[in-house]
Amino acid sequence: MHRKKEQRYSQPFFLVELGQNPRHELSRGFSLGDRTDDKEKQKTLNVTIKNIGHGFAKTLVIHTGFNIGGLAFNKVINVGDNAYMFFVLNKDNLKDGISFSLQYIDSMTNEYIQKYTIKTEHSTIDIECGYPQLLKQ
């Protein structure tokens, strides 16, 4: 019981938003969904990852579907801090939605995965944020 209470007080939560990110911060990018060489169909989306939870998180990997086990994305994100990255994707995939997830650990070394879906809703692009799922304690 005590361990669960401590976990709740240290659990990070990543809110991922589309946005204008500082150019100098956009050094990490990932392909997402079906790749295309057609420049007309390619879209680059800048995203901001904000830790709005109760404790810091150390990201481990990002799951984009292109690599079993995920792609390395090692970054410590303190409460209230942001991390910036971008996705390159095929615009056609936005109709049905494209998913990705972030895997991370908290200050007590609990490991979580949090899933997100990017899709077009009434001609605007939106991100649905899932809740962190505990993988390991």
The C-alpha angle 10, 7, 49, rounded to 5 degrees, equals 45
Domain count, the chain: 1
- Find the helix or strand (DSSP H, E) in which 127 lies: strand 124-129
Helix (H) or strand (E) holding 52: none
Q: What is the mean pLDDT of residues 33-52?
A: 89
| Residue 5 pLDDT | 57
CB 84 within 8 A of CB 21: yes
The answer, yes or no, to whether residue 2 has pLDDT greater than 60, is no
pLDDT score, position 26: 64
pLDDT, greater one: 9 or 80: 80
pLDDT of residue 53: 93
Instruction: Provide the percentage of residues in the chain whose pLDDT is more than 70.
Output: 88
Q: What are the pLDDT digits (tens) for 78-127?
A: 999 999 999 999 999 999 999 999 999 998 899 999 999 999 988 899 99
Could you list the residue range(s) of the whole structural domain that residue 77 is in? 2-136
- pTM to 2 decimal places: 0.87
**CATH label of the domain that carries residue 127:** 2.60.40
